[in-house]
């Protein structure tokens, strides 16, 4: 059994790091703060609109470290996704497809607490944009941002402990690491040469998050779950480099590049900068009948209005405090059914309305999504979790992004690896 477990872990780790450099988004709204912040939880919780108040003793919640206090068996998690987006405005339309591993994690119960660790993509950048600015002298500057890509990944260690009879507490330490690449091309009418800038930021640093969960037993086998999670304000280190090229063409190609110069960022105080991580609070509540149904609501608030990336100065982009509200749950027709597999499936649903922090050209950006999912029993306590998300970001006044995302998550438990004995 030990050899099988080790083999399983090697495959998972290799799979993640073989895809870790891939960009997880193609959305222009990945200009947002540290990029497009990925939903870092399990597929099963994603399919309920991200409601973290639901507690499962079989599968721990990556977003809720206090859930580790309740797990009963060692839990192996892996999630993947496929996303298809349609971007449009009044004149243009483009389709973008992305896919990658979403998380790899392990939760382990011990005598008086539980702990877990894993790795996942925290945020992503990936966009191609073109803007035009006209001046009073009738000259214009076309600024093209293209080839922007990169991820910030997160490796985490979490602990959950019971506190009194109905309370559990949890904490996570997260090491963030990754790289963003940006490319710009500036061309002024009447000028033969354009300027191409190639810049990158290597990002590292620690962040922390905490959670507390109150479970109140009620009559008729009902449980009221109340969750509070805190992501304190922090900052990440950014090591930046930038080079400038000249081109004698109106469109940039590798063949048209001329001389290049490395910019002395150190003398400008831009070689080593700090990226603020805004404070975020999560309030979640839900009512559950064990192995039957759950329904909950969640509110998130992020203090992102003061965000600033002093190295990457993008015009017409500002920030505001962000918040979101979600509703979701699950139901199981008959968890103990011996004759119908479909009655033992966990059917999940959720909706989420997200007021994002980014403001483009004085236009606020909002996101709405609908989530559906299935929890399919596969062996013992293990499950295959399927999820579908349909949503939209922005509107026709800027760029409207319609998308759907398919997700697959495996939640495998110790019994999955037990060798069966036959007489």
- Neighbouring CB atoms inside 10 A of 378's CB total 13
Element (H, E) at 332: none
Contact of 61 with 41, CB cutoff 8 Å? yes
Percent of the chain with pLDDT over 70: 80
Contact of 213 with 64, CB cutoff 8 Å? yes
| Closest C-alpha to 77, from 43, 100, 50, 110 | 43
Using CA of residue 263, residue 267, residue 268, residue 269, what is the dihedral sign?
positive
pLDDT in the model for residue 183: 79
Q: Which of 112-126, 258-272, 374-388 has the lowest mean pLDDT?
A: 258-272
Q: What is the spatial distance between Cα 304 and Cα 307, in angstroms, rounded to a whole number? A: 5
Helix (H, G, I), strand (E, B) or coil at 389: strand
Give the CB-side neighbour count of residue 110, counting CA atoms within 13 A: 8
207 Cβ neighbours under 8 A, 6+ residues apart? 154, 174, 176, 231, 232, 234, 236, 277
| Closest C-alpha to 163, from 66, 93, 292 | 66
- Neighbouring CB atoms inside 10 A of 368's CB total 12
Q: φ, ψ for residue 368 (rounded to 5)?
A: -130, 140
Q: What is the spatial distance between Cα 383 and Cα 417, in angstroms, rounded to a whole number? A: 14
- Per this entry, what is the length of the chain? 423
Look at the block and give the residue holding tokens 């507490």: 169
80-117 pLDDT, tens per residue? 999 998 888 777 788 888 888 889 999 999 988 999 99
pLDDT in the model for residue 123: 86
Contact of 286 with 52, CB cutoff 8 Å? no
Residue 401 has pLDDT above 70, yes or no: yes
Give the single-character DSSP code of 420: P
Contact of 102 with 121, CB cutoff 8 Å? yes
User: Taking the mean position of all CA atoms in its chain, how far away is CA 17?
Assistant: 17
Give the single-character DSSP code of 64: -
Domain assignments of the chain as residue spans, ordered by start: 2-417
Answer with the residue of higher pLDDT: 245 or 50: 50
Band of pLDDT at residue 57, cut at 50, 70 and 90: confident
139-151 pLDDT, tens per residue? 555 555 556 788 8
Q: What is the spatial distance between Cα 321 and Cα 419, in angstroms, rounded to a whole number? A: 52
Q: What CATH homologous superfamily does 2-417 map to?
A: Outer membrane protein transport protein (OMPP1/FadL/TodX) (2.40.160.60)
Per-residue tokens: 212: 């507390």
pLDDT in the model for residue 398: 80
Using CA of residue 265, residue 267, residue 272, residue 278, what is the dihedral sign?
negative
350-377 pLDDT, tens per residue? 999 999 998 888 889 999 999 999 999 9
Band of pLDDT at residue 23, cut at 50, 70 and 90: low
Residue 191 has pLDDT above 50, yes or no: yes
């Amino acid at each position: 059994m030990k050899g099988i477990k080790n083999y399983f872990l090697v495959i998972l780790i290799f799979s993640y790091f073989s895809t870790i450099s891939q960009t997880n988004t193609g959305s222009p709204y990945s200009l947002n703060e540290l990029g497009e912040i990925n939903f870092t939880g399990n597929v099963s919780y994603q399919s309920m609109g991200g409601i973290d108040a639901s507690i499962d003793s079989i599968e721990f919640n990556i977003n809720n470290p206090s859930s580790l206090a309740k797990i009963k068996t060692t839990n192996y998690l892996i999630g993947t996704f496929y996303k298809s987006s349609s971007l449009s405005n009044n004149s243009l339309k483009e389709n973008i497809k992305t896919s990658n591993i979403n998380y790899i994690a392990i939760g382990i119960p011990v005598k008086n607490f539980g702990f877990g660790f894993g790795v996942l993509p925290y945020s992503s950048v990936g966009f191609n944009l073109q803007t035009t600015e006209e001046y009073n002298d009738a000259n214009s500057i076309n600024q093209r941002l293209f080839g922007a890509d990169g991820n910030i990944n997160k490796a985490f260690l979490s602990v959950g402990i019971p506190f009194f009879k109905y309370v559990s507490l949890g904490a996570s330490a997260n090491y963030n690491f990754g790289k963003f690449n940006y490319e710009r091309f500036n061309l002024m009418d009447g000028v033969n040469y354009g300027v191409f800038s190639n810049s990158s930021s290597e990002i590292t640093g620690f962040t922390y998050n905490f959670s507390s969960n109150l479970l109140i037993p009620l009559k008729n086998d009902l449980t009221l779950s109340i969750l509070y999670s805190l992501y304190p304000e922090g900052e990440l280190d950014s090591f930046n480099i930038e080079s400038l090229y000249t081109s004698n063409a109106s469109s940039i190609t590798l063949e048209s590049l001329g001389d290049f110069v490395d910019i002395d960022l150190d003398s400008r105080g831009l070689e080593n900068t700090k990226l603020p991580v805004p404070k975020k609070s999560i309030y979640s509540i839900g009512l559950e009948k064990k192995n039957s149904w759950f329904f909950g609501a969640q509110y998130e608030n992020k203090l992102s209005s003061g965000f600033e990336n002093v190295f990457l100065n993008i015009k017409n982009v500002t920030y505001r405090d962000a918040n979101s509200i979600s509703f979701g749950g699950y139901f199981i027709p008959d968890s103990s059914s011996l004759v119908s597999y479909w009655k033992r499936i966990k059917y999940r649903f959720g909706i989420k309305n997200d007021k994002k922090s980014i403001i483009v050209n004085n236009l606020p950006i909002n996101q709405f999504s609908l989530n559906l999912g299935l929890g399919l029993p596969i062996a013992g306590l293990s499950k295959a979790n399927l999820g579908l998300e349909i949503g939209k970001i922005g509107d026709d006044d800027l760029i409207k992004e319609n998308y759907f995302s398919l997700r697959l998550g495996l939640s495998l438990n110790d019994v999955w690896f037990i060798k069966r004995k036959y007489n």
